[in-house]
């Protein structure tokens, strides 16, 4: 076969094809219509709809599975083919009542509608038959209407093999088949994680967002009493589908004037899913992902798909607030800005520029972060600026910068999904980066990808892994170094790669001496044969990706552990090729971008040091100001400086620092000592309670901008709604304040800010809004001509000599709270809520699924302490106390506890327990190193996790939709057999057989 | 020292001010569109006197019930026929080739003219004269056209009702 491509003939015309493409792929690429309801590029062939029949070489075949071959002759137009396609579509319509004009899915993108219309079908061959099942309205976000379900299985395919949650199946064994959840339970009580994949891919209105029902159409809110006879009448008088479609198309076109579709980028994690938001006035009708979305395609997760109504929540801040005595009083913008200018100016004048700190937001845009650091450095004259990557990702960035040169993921999600082996260390992507996790789960399930998971908890990926290891807490560096040493001892290292592309080999090899298998076994508790197995799996894989997150980075030796991972990848030559590399999973939507665009004490945008006079000069010239030469305080330093009374004022935006920074009591008492504190947010947060001025900001849906996701991918988001009340986009607020200090800025649109940043930071030289239009994206570095770099280090590493560095690292023992504190406290996220929950607890459906936080306790500990689901316990650490309800689960083992961070309640938030100990290099708090003691307050109580949470569901794994079971049904006649029989005059018989 | 506080004193919107602003906006629109407004008021007055508003209000208040009755009335065989005939009529007009229609209408016009001329002359008609006229090219063309039309119509009549049923499914 010609790898470069070949051509096939369809209907007498030549079409170019590539090896592996199906006839349907070739036709669609060449703009030739072949029907096909079950096939989508993201899901592949399902073979249920039987509408894509073509004649290839004299045989009727399904074009969605038949591969194009050189010289192939295909016909899609002959009577035989038309008859087969017509039969396929007619069988579909037996399952689906066409009442498009009064259907909420009549928005121009209904696959069933468009296919019937395109095929020119005039009438229904087999009368529609209702199914004997009621609609399932149990789930808070979507409903299933069996009567409209065409049984194409797209939803099942998406659930089984793309999301890989394995909840949906079609029960082909019933008299009337239908989609079922788990073992046929109401949707709300199933293992459904509410990711929305099934709804996203449904080709009709069988699965629909509840927020669309009765809202999308002009006539769809009609009560059933009127609607029923209306549908009957329409069917009675309709001369054919053509006329019906004419009306429904007019109606669909009318909808365009009131339903706005706007592209946005999700803000719930670092994966960077992009999709369209459908709105009617301020109402959010739905989130619809599209295949062209670079990171996620048609995928979403529970928060990205459903969690947006907080923008209209009545608790939104809509006016500036000024502290007066014991209360906040609403103020005008002028009053607030005047006060800020007076007070911040006063502090600066009295105590100096470095007496003020600036905390930026990883939830806000690149442009806003750029402008904020410009304000701090250029206008206010200090480098005291940092963002919340300090709480999570700085050690990973530092570990990568010292080994391979750039603080970002080595490749893209495409590389992760195409790796032969994925190693996940201290991360729970299935809950924290759900859509990225789907790519690993899919590759593992369908394409033979191997998976190693190292974690304290048996999270979902751990359950699915080929090898799940549970090292003792805080010992990852040891087993990683030991595995690396074993690989070297066995001579399995990539010698050529090391020789040509890596420095520091000798010193590094020497540093590994103490990391013998025996030492590792003793320290980590992992048996030596397991370590050998890990080394062997890495050795046997041609491409390895390592993914990690807070389980690595929130320790005192976090930068070193990150470095150890990078070292291992270098030793085995796993950089610079498809399917290889290091992937610290960025937690927030714009952690990467906030760092990239300079809200860090030592770096200008694009990771150029503030200490470099040439770089400083470039910025000083462009900004027309002077910039201090020494790096400023990071978050950790700022809190310390507040306690030392050196930092007098703080300006913070989009960060719930009072609950999210470690050792909350310490942080909050620091806030109490500030002379002046400005907090800018969309809600009145815990942090805002300490402010002197609270400024109402606008969330991502109310402004334009760009984010950088974990892949280093820069993507645009567009304004969907006007800012609520008097709230303003953060960049506008910065400009107003800067101008109060005489900056004289005049940015009219964020694109102008990006243009300025791109002109100054070589890493983003070619970035512009034009190049990011719609779903287009750029993965940095971006050269001036607009060429981006999805895969790093293909030719050289980001050091002057182009070579990577092996950096010797040693183990830092974790903080020990003392013998009294006998339980290990682990913490992190859960799927349903974001961060402390200021946005997601305001969503009714999400709160229905998870109403409150819980403490995970092992079966062993529950037995020992007589605990059960709902028991109330008090946890005490040397730093604070919380009270939480227990969930007993085998996800945690022995004396290890897991307390999710997702609560806004003072007596529950995990960071009242954590300490101010930190990574010795980057000052990232060691959140994961804490011991606590437990007292049982109430032995019995209402369980915190309701039974209708997916964690209690029962998955039903299978590959795809099991279409063979459909084909084996006694009432199924294969269409290619039937229409052939038809040629011989036996069609009626076949008809009867099918409809009997 | 700034202790954490939760109390927010919200400015309660001043009702009087809001009302004053709203009525100023309304007055502005009214005075700018005086004539249209006055005409509308006259119209409204008339409708009100007729009791139309009361009826409309009754319908609006009970719109689901009224709608259900209305749609039930519409959803009757008679009404189906009205709608179907209406649609067929439109379809029929659409199917006519416009050039031919023009010719036909022209022909009908000329025919009517000729007819009225013949009536005015009050000539006595005899079978012989009429038979002689049949031989003229005009008469032949008209009769041939009639015959062709009837043949076409007959084709539709002769089609089996079974086949039509089959098409409808």
In sequence order, what DSSP letters do the residues of A728-767 get, joined into one string?
A: B-HHHHHHHHHHHTT------SHHHHHHHHHHH-GGGTT-
Q: How far is B71 from chain A (nearest CA, A)?
A: 6
Q: Using the predicted structure, report yes or no on whether residue A995 has a pLDDT greater than 70.
A: no
| Structure confidence at residue A100 (pLDDT) | 84
| Both tokens assigned to A203 | 């080709």
Asked whether the beta carbons of residue B64 and residue A689 sit closer than 8 angstroms, the reply is no
Q: How far is B78 from chain A (nearest CA, A)?
A: 11
In tens, the pLDDT along A164-188 reads 999 999 999 999 999 999 999 999 9
Tell me: cis bond preceding A362? Omega within 30 of 0 counts.
no
Cross-strand partners of A584 = A548
Candidates A408, A395, A100; CA nearest to A254 is A100
Q: What is the pLDDT of residue B76?
A: 81
B45 SS3 class: helix
Q: Is the pLDDT assigned to residue B165 strictly greater than 70?
A: no
Question: B30: which 2 tokens?
Answer: 């009214």
* Selected residue with higher pLDDT from A837 and A237: A837
For the ranges A579-588, A900-909, A948-957, which has the lowest average pLDDT? A900-909
- Average of pLDDT values for B44-62? 86
Q: Which of B63, B71, B84 has the highest number of chain A CBs within 10 A, making it the mutation to test binding with A?
A: B71
Q: Identify the helix (H) or strand (E) that includes residue A623.
A: helix A613-623
pLDDT digits over A435-462, tens only? Answer: 999 999 999 999 999 999 999 999 999 9
The encoded tokens of residue A827 equal: 């913490």
Closest C-alpha to A597, from A406, A371, A388, A380: A371
Tokens of A189: 């009580």
Q: Which two tokens stand for residue A761?
A: 């930071």
Domain ranges for chain B? 20-61
pLDDT at B23 over 90: yes
CB–CB of A143/A935 below 8 Å? no
Alpha carbons A261 and B124: distance in angstroms, whole number = 79
* Dihedral sign from CA coordinates of A446, A449, A450, A451: negative
Q: Which residues of A63-73 are buried (b: 16+ CB within 10 A; e: fewer)?
A: bbebebeeebe
Q: Kindly tell me if the per-residue pLDDT of A663 is higher than 80.
A: yes
Chain B: which residues have CB within 8 Å of chain A? 1-11, 64, 67-68, 71-72, 74-75, 79-80, 83-84, 87-88, 91, 167-169
CB nearest to B2's CB, from A126, A229, A323 = A323
Highest-confidence segment of A75-79, A860-864, B13-17, B131-135: A860-864
Q: Which residue of B has its CA nearest to A125?
A: B169
- Which pair of tokens denotes residue B104? 């036909």
Q: Which residues of A525-535 are buried (b: 16+ CB within 10 A; e: fewer)?
A: ebeeebbebbb
Q: What is the mean pLDDT of chain A?
A: 94
Nearest-CA distance A230 → chain B (Å): 6
User: Do B11 and A672 count as a contact with CB atoms less than 8 A apart?
Assistant: no
> Residue A858 and residue A893: Cα distance in Å, rounded?
5
Cβ atoms of A248 and A106 closer than 8 Å: yes
Residue A986's pLDDT is 40
Q: How far is A678 from chain B (nearest CA, A)?
A: 12
Report CB contact under 8 Å: B3, A672.
yes
- What's the whole-number mean pLDDT along residues A222-249? 77
Are A583 and A437 within 8 A, CB to CB?
Answer: no
Q: Which residues of A touch B71 (CB under 8 A)?
A: 226, 229-230, 233
| Residue A361: predicted pLDDT | 97
| Closest residue, chain B, to A221 (C-alpha) | B64
Set of chain A residues whose Cβ sits within 8 Å of the Cβ of B86: none
pLDDT of A987 above 90? no
Confidence class for position A2, pLDDT limits 50, 70, 90 = very low
Instruction: Tell me the C-alpha distance between A680 and A344, whole Å.
Output: 15
Q: Which chain B residues are closer than 8 Å to A233 by Cβ?
A: 71, 74-75, 79-80
Nearest to A798 by CA among A782, A781, A778: A781
What's residue B160's pLDDT?
56
Which position has the token pair 């270098």?
A570
Q: Which two tokens stand for residue A83?
A: 């008859």
Name the burial class of residue B54, with classes exposed (0-12), middle (13-18) and buried (19+) by CB atoms within 10 angstroms of its CB.
exposed
> Which structural domains are found in chain A, ordered by start?
345-391+591-726+736-788 (3.40.50.740), 394-584 (3.40.228.10), 823-952 (2.40.40.20)
The model's confidence at residue B123, banded by pLDDT at 50, 70 and 90, is low
Backbone phi, psi, residue A102, to 5°: -105, 25
Task: Give every CB contact of residue A167 below 8 A, 6+ residues apart in sequence.
Answer: A159, A181, A182, A190, A191, A192, A193, A953, A955, A956
User: Does the pLDDT at position A146 exceed 50?
Assistant: yes
- CA dist., res. A711 & res. A586, Å (int): 9
Helix orientation angle between A750-760 and A366-374, rounded to the nearest 10 degrees:
70
For B8, which of A225, A232, A327 is closest by C-beta distance?
Answer: A327
Rg (CA), chain A: 30
Task: Label the pairing between strands A649-653 and A356-359.
Answer: parallel
Query: What does the alpha-carbon distance between residue A225 and residue B67 come to, in Å, rounded to a whole number?
Result: 9
How many residue contacts between A and B have a Cβ separation below 8 Å?
Answer: 86
The DSSP annotation for A455-520 comes to: -SS--HHHHH-SEEE-PPTT-HHHHHHHHHHHHHHTT-S-HHHHHHHEE-HHHHHHHTTT--HHHH
Point out the least confidently predicted range of A277-281, A284-288, A699-703, B16-20. Answer: B16-20
Among A123, A225, A321, beta carbon nearest to B68: A225
CB-nearest partner of A229 from B1, B8, B72: B72
- The CB density around residue B6, as the number of other CB atoms within 10 Å, is 11
Where do we find the tokens 């195409």? Answer: A418
For A541-578, how does the pLDDT look when each residue is reduced to its tens digit (9 = 90+)? 999 999 999 999 999 999 999 999 999 999 999 999 99
A229 CB neighbours in chain B (<8 A) are 68, 71-72, 74-75
Using CA coordinates, name the residue in chain B closest to A332: B11
Structure confidence by residue, pLDDT tens digits, A893-907: 999 999 999 998 889
Residue whose structure tokens are 């040397």: A878
Higher pLDDT, B94 or A371: A371
Report the percent of chain A where pLDDT is more than 90.
89
pLDDT tens-digit readout, A522-537: 999 999 999 999 999 9
For residues A21 and A98, the model is more confident at A21
A237/B1 touch (CB, cutoff 8 Å), yes or no: no
Cα distance between residue A706 and residue A714, in whole Å: 6
Give dist(CA A204, CA A111) in Å, integer: 6
Chain B interface, best mutation among A229, A326, A343, by max B CB count within 10 A:
A229
A93: which DSSP letter?
H
- Selection from A929, A925, A899, A950 nearest residue A457 by Cα: A899
Q: Taking CB atoms and an 8 Å limit, are B168 and A123 in contact across chains?
A: yes
Q: To which residue do tokens 């952690």 refer?
A: A591
Best mutation target, A237, A679, A684, to test chain B (most B CBs within 10 A):
A237
Kindly identify which residue of chain B lies nearest to residue A669, measuring between CA atoms: B3
CA dihedral A481, A487, A489, A494 (to 10 degrees): -120
Any alpha helices (H) in A832-912, and if so which ranges? 844-849, 859-865
CB–CB contact B83 A223 (8 Å):
no
Q: B94 contacts in A (CB within 8 Å)?
A: none
Q: What is the per-residue pLDDT for B167?
A: 37
Q: Are A665 and A880 in contact (CB under 8 A)?
A: yes
Give yes or no for a contact between A473 and A894, defined as CB atoms under 8 angstroms apart.
no
CB contact under 8 A, A226 and B168: no
Partners of residue B8 in chain A, C-beta under 8 Å? 321, 327-330, 684
What is the model's pLDDT at position B105?
Answer: 86
- Which region among A50-59, A937-946, B52-61 has the lowest average model confidence (pLDDT)? B52-61
For residue B9, the distance in angstroms to the closest alpha carbon of chain A comes to: 5
Which of A243, A329, A672 lies at the smallest CB-CB distance from B1? A672
Question: In terms of DSSP bridges, do strands A872-877 and A880-888 run parallel, antiparallel, or are they unpaired?
Answer: antiparallel
Cβ atoms within 10 A of the Cβ of A878, count? Answer: 16
Q: What residues of chain B lie within 8 A of the CB of A125, using their CB?
A: 169
- A321 to B8: CB separation less than 8 angstroms, yes or no: yes
β-bridge mates for residue A59, sequence order: A56
Q: Which residue has the higher pLDDT, A366 or A233?
A: A366
Q: Alpha-carbon distance B54 to A42, whole Å?
A: 58
Is A391 exposed, middle or buried (CB count within 10 Å of its CB: 0-12, 13-18, 19+)? Answer: buried
Mean pLDDT of A779-790: 97
A610, pLDDT greater than 70: yes
Residue of A389, A364, A436, A348 lying closest to A164 (CA atoms):
A436
> How far is residue B31's CA from residue B35's CA, in Å, rounded to a whole number?
9
CA distance A759 to A834: 35
Residues from A contacting B (CB-CB < 8 Å) are 122-127, 222-223, 225-226, 229-230, 232-233, 236-237, 239, 243, 319, 321, 323-324, 326-330, 668, 671-674, 677, 684, 686, 689-692
Residue A351 CB coordination number (10 Å):
16
Selected residue with higher pLDDT from B70 and A727 = A727
**Cβ neighbour number for residue B64 with a 10 Å cutoff:** 12
pLDDT at site A239: 65
User: Which of B6, B11, B75 lies closest to A229 in CB terms?
Assistant: B75
Supply the pLDDT for residue B86. Answer: 85
CA angle A470, A549, A391 (to 5 degrees): 125
CA-CA distance, A568 to A545, in Å (whole number)?
11
Question: In chain A, which residue's Cα lies nearest the Cα of B2?
Answer: A672
Q: Which residue is closest to A128 within chain B, CA to CA?
A: B169
On the question of pLDDT at A401 being above 90, the answer is yes
Residues in chain B within 8 Å Cβ distance of A230: 71, 75
Contact indicator for A545, A583 with CB cutoff of 8 Å: yes
- Tell me the HSE value of A977 on the side-chain side, using a 13 A CA sphere: 9
Tell me, what's the pLDDT at A981? Answer: 56
CA-nearest of A878, A630, A591, A560 to A711 is: A591
How much is the pLDDT for A992?
Answer: 39
Q: Do B5 and A689 touch (CB under 8 A)?
A: yes
Which pLDDT value is given to residue A976? 87
Q: Is A692 in Cβ contact with B2 (below 8 Å)? A: yes
pLDDT at A983: 53
- Kindly report, residue by residue over A475-490, the tens digit of the pLDDT: 999 999 999 999 999 9
Q: Chain A residues with CB inside 8 Å of B166's CB?
A: none
Residues facing residue A583 across a β-bridge? A547
Residues facing residue A468 across a β-bridge: A453
**Maximum distance among all alpha carbons in chain A?**
99
Give the C-alpha separation, A430 to B168, whole Å: 51
């Amino acid at each position: 076969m010609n790898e470069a491509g070949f051509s096939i003939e369809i209907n007498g015309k030549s079409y170019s094809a590539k090896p592996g493409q199906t006839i349907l792929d070739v036709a669609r690429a060449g703009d030739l219509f072949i029907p096909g309801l079950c096939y989508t590029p993201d899901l592949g062939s399902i073979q249920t709809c039987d509408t894509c029949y073509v004649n290839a070489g004299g045989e009727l075949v399904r074009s969605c599975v038949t591969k194009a071959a050189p010289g192939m002759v295909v016909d899609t137009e002959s009577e035989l083919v038309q008859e087969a396609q017509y039969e396929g579509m007619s069988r579909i319509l037996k399952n689906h009542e066409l009442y498009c004009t009064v259907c909420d899915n009549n928005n121009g993108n209904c696959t069933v509608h468009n296919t019937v219309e395109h095929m020119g079908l005039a009438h229904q061959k087999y009368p529609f038959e209702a199914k004997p099942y009621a609609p399932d309205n149990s789930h808070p976000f979507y409903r299933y209407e069996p009567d409209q379900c065409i049984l194409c299985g797209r939803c099942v395919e998406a659930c089984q093999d793309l999301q890989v949650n394995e909840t949906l199946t079609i029960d082909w064994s019933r008299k009337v088949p239908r989609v079922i959840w788990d073992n046929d339970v109401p949707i709300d009580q199933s293992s459904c994680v509410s990711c929305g994949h099934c709804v996203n891919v449904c080709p009709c209105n069988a699965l629909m967002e509840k927020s669309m029902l009765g809202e999308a159409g002009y006539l769809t809110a009609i009560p059933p009493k009127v609607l029923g006879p209306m549908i009957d009448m329409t069917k009675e008088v309709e001369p054919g589908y053509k006329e019906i479609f004419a009306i429904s198309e007019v109606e669909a076109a009318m909808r365009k004037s009131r339903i706005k579709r706007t592209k946005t980028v999700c803000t719930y994690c670092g994966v960077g899913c992009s999709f369209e938001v459908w709105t009617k006035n301020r109402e959010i009708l739905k989130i619809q992902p599209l295949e062209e979305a670079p990171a996620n395609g048609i995928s979403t997760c529970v928060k990205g798909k459903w969690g947006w109504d907080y923008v209209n929540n009545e608790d939104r801040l809509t006016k500036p607030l000024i502290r007066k005595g014991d209360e906040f009083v609403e103020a005008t913008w002028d009053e607030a800005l005047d006060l800020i200018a007076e007070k911040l100016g006063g502090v600066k004048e009295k105590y100096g520029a470095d007496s003020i700190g600036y905390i930026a937001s990883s939830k806000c845009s690149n442009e806003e972060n750029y402008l904020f650091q410009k304000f701090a450095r250029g206008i206010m004259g200090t480098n005291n600026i940092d963002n919340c990557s300090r709480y999570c990702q700085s050690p990973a960035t530092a570990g990568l910068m010292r080994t391979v040169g750039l603080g970002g993921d080595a490749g893209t999600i495409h590389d992760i999904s195409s790796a032969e082996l994925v190693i996940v260390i201290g991360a729970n992507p299935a809950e924290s980066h759900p859509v990225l996790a789907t790519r690993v789960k899919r590759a593992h399930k369908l394409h033979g990808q191997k998976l190693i998971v190292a974690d304290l908890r048996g999270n979902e990926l751990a359950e699915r892994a080929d090898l799940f290891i549970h090292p003792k807490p805080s010992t990852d560096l040891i087993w990683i170094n030991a595995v690396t040493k074993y690989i070297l001892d066995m001579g399995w290292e990539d010698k050529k790669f090391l020789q040509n592309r890596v420095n520091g080999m000798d010193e590094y090899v020497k540093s590994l001496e103490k990391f013998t298998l025996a030492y590792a076994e003793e320290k980590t508790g992992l048996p030596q044969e397991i370590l050998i197995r890990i080394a062997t799996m890495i050795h046997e894989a041609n491409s390895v990706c390592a993914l990690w997150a807070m389980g690595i980075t929130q320790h005192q030796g976090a930068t070193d552990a990150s470095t150890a991972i990078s070292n291992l990848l270098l030793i085995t030559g796993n950089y610079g090729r498809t399917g290889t590399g290091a992937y610290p999973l960025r937690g927030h939507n714009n952690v990467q971008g906030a760092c990239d665009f300079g809200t860090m004490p030592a770096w200008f945008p694009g990771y150029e040091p503030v200490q470099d006079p040439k770089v400083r000069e470039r910025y000083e010239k462009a900004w027309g100001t002077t910039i201090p030469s020494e790096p400023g305080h990071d978050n950790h330093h700022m809190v310390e400086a507040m306690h030392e009374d050196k930092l007098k004022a703080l300006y913070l935006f989009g960060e719930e620092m009072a609950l999210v920074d470690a050792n909350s009591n310490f942080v909050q008492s620091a806030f109490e000592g500030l002379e002046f504190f400005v907090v800018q947010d969309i809600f009145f947060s815990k942090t805002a309670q300490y402010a002197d001025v609270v400024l109402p900001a606008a969330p991502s849906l109310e402004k334009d901008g760009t984010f950088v996701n974990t892949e280093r991918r820069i993507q645009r988001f567009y304004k969907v709604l006007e800012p609520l009340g008097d709230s303003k986009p953060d960049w506008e607020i910065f400009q107003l304040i800067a101008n109060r200090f005489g900056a004289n800025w005049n940015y009219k649109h964020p694109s102008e800010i990006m243009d300025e940043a791109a002109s100054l930071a070589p890493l983003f030289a070619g970035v512009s809004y034009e190049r990011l239009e719609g779903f287009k994206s750029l993965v940095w570095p971006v050269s001036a001509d607009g060429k981006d770099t999805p895969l790093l280090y293909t030719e050289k590493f980001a050091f002057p000599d182009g070579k990577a560095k092996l950096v010797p690292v040693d183990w830092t023992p974790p903080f020990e709270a003392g013998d009294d504190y006998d339980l290990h406290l682990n913490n992190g996220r859960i799927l349903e809520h974001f961060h402390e929950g200021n946005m997601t607890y305001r969503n009714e459906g999400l709160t229905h699924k998870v109403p409150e936080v819980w403490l995970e306790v092992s079966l062993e500990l529950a037995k020992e302490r007589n605990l059960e689901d709902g028991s109330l316990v008090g946890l005490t650490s040397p730093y604070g106390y919380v009270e939480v309800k227990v969930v007993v689960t085998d996800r945690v083992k022995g004396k290890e506890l897991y307390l999710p961070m997702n609560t806004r309640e003072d007596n529950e938030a995990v960071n009242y327990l954590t300490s101010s100990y930190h990574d010795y290099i980057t000052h990232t708090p060691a959140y994961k190193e804490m011991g606590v003691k437990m007292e049982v307050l109430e032995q019995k109580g209402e369980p915190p996790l309701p039974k209708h949470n997916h964690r209690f569901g029962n998955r039903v794994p299978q590959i795809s939709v099991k279409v063979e079971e459909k084909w084996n049904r006694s009432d199924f006649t294969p269409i290619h057999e039937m229409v052939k029989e038809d040629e011989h005059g036996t069609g009626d018989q076949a008809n009867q057989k099918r409809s009997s | 020292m700034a202790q954490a506080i939760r109390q927010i004193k919200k400015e309660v919107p001043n009702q009087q001010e809001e009302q004053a602003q709203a009525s100023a906006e309304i007055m502005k629109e009214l005075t700018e569109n005086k004539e249209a407004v006055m005409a509308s008021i006259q119209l409204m007055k008339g409708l009100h006197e007729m009791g139309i508003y009361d009826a409309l209000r009754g319908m609006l208040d009970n719109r689901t019930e009224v709608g259900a009755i209305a749609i039930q009335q519409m959803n009757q065989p008679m009404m189906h026929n009205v709608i179907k005939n209406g649609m067929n009529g439109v379809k029929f007009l659409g199917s006519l080739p416009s050039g031919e229609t023009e010719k036909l209408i022209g022909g009908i016009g000329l025919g009517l003219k000729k007819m009225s001329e013949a009536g005015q002359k009050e000539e006595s008609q005899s079978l012989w004269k009429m038979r002689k006229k049949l031989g003229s090219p005009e008469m032949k063309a008209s009769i041939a056209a009639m015959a062709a039309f009837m043949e076409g119509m007959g084709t539709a009549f002769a089609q089996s009702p079974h086949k039509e049923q089959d098409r409808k499914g």
